[in-house]
């Protein structure tokens, strides 16, 4: 039978608590029957045979097989395909019984974008989770409000700094730079993703030196500073790194989550003995999202899934600097970090990758106060030094929050004025009816 009554379903006919629904963007040659193609994807990622085998009973199929709940073409050819069309594009939605993979992210990804990642032009763009699935995840321990409470800052965007240069520094030199950034007004400082426990800068030595420096800086500025120490390693070693860092006095941690894996990350975020905020570094996510025709979407691998894995703040690359990123993708990632998601707490978006003081106005316009502006070179490369670079950010943040433009603030504050003169003020090109008032 061509129309399979189990595989081809209306979403309204399914028990919504049984299924995770995956949405794909697909393309194929004009002669491809995309209904058959969608059914083939659903079968491949569940019962997995292109022909009937004895063990595939009706009971097995009802329990485990994927259901196609939508096939939509864009543009929507209905009666004929123009002669010049060489490829047709489709949105396909498939519902997977989540008991197939359970409350884990590794087997879920193996199911929703496993073998079919080798099926040509198939990209996973979103996942819709039922309440029963979300209930199995603890999510972030702190999130936006928890970090604000730790820092005692409720009414403005936060400022993050990445230590530069990326690698090669000793523990003492790292502490020296951390002091300068902190005393200038940075709220959260982080290791570079390339540093964890090299022989010239051992993790425990770095934690002790940095935390002593931050204690002095906090006394000077009258504020608290968090430092996220990178603990990325193989699973059990990463847990050991976390415990070693905490024993040495660390007040925050960092994980390269895409490189080590989402479920490995959960070993740390869900550990009851680890009760500090954990920062998500986004390195390696580009390998999964940059192709328009394969992999997964940036908002999924770079925002929704790490949030589900329990990370409290997530670096997101921006359209401002050295990495290719579309503005709407950037904004959507921030929304995925902040929008309500059941009991899973909102987390801080951290726009970074070429961010300067001249981007403050645009970032706040897009995200409001619940954003953590991340900067490396614009702090450590400020002509007046790292402390001045940090002060320039705080001057700009306070001014914009008070309704003063960056241009005007740059005339009032020397450090900010120097930065704006050097790197300019960003202004997004406005064109079209959707550029509404903020």
343 is catalytic: no
Give the whole-angstrom CA distance, residue 302 versus residue 300: 6
Active-site annotation holder among 123, 164, 190, 359: 164
Active-site annotation holder among 123, 141, 281, 359: 281
Task: Give the CA angle between residues 251, 252, 257 to the nearest 5°.
Answer: 160
121 is catalytic: no
Which residues are known catalytic residues?
A: 164, 281
């Amino acid at each position: 039978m061509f129309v399979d009554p189990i595989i081809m379903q209306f979403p309204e006919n399914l028990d919504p608590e049984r299924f995770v629904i995956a949405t794909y963007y697909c393309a194929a040659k004009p002669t491809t029957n995309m209904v058959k193609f969608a059914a083939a994807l659903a079968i491949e990622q569940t019962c997995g045979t292109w022909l009937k085998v004895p063990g595939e009973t009706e009971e097995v199929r009802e329990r485990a097989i994927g259901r196609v709940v939508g096939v939509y073409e864009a543009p929507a050819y209905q009666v004929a395909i123009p002669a010049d069309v060489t490829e047709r594009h489709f949105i396909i939605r498939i519902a997977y019984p989540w008991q197939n993979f359970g409350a884990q992210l590794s087997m879920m990804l193996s199911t929703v974008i496993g073998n079919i990642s080798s099926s040509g032009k198939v990209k996973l763009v979103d996942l819709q989770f039922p309440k029963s699935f979300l209930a199995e995840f603890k999510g972030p321990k702190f999130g936006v409000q928890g970090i604000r409470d730790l820092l005692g800052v409720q009414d403005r965007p936060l400022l993050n700094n990445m230590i530069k240069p990326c690698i090669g520094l000793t523990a003492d030199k790292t502490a020296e730079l951390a002091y300068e950034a902190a005393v200038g007004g940075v709220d959260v400082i982080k290791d570079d993703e390339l540093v964890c426990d090299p022989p010239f800068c051992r993790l425990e030595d770095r934690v002790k030196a940095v935390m002593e420096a931050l204690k002095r800086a906090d006394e000077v500025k009258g504020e608290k500073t968090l430092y996220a120490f990178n603990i990325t390693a193989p699973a059990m070693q990463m847990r050991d790194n976390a415990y070693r860092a905490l024993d040495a006095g660390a007040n925050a941690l960092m994980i390269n989550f895409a490189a080590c894996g989402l479920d490995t990350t959960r070993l740390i975020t869900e550990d009851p003995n680890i009760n500090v905020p954990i920062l998500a570094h986004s390195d390696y996510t580009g390998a999964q999202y940059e192709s328009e025709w394969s992999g997964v979407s940036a908002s999924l691998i770079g925002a929704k899934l790490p949030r589900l894995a329990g990370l409290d703040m997530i670096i997101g690359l921006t359209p401002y600097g050295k990495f290719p990123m579309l503005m709407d993708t950037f904004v959507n990632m921030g929304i995925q970090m902040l929008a309500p998601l059941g009991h899973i707490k909102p987390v801080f978006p951290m726009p970074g990758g070429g961010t300067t003081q001249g981007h403050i106005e645009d970032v706040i316009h897009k995200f409001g106060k619940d954003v953590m502006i991340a900067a490396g070179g614009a702090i450590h490369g400020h002509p007046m030094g790292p402390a001045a670079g940090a002060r320039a950010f705080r001057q700009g943040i306070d001014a914009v929050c008070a309704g003063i433009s960056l241009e005007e603030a740059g005339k009032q504050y020397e450090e900010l004025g120097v930065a704006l003169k050097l790197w300019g003020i960003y202004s997004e090109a406005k064109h079209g009816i959707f550029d509404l008032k903020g």
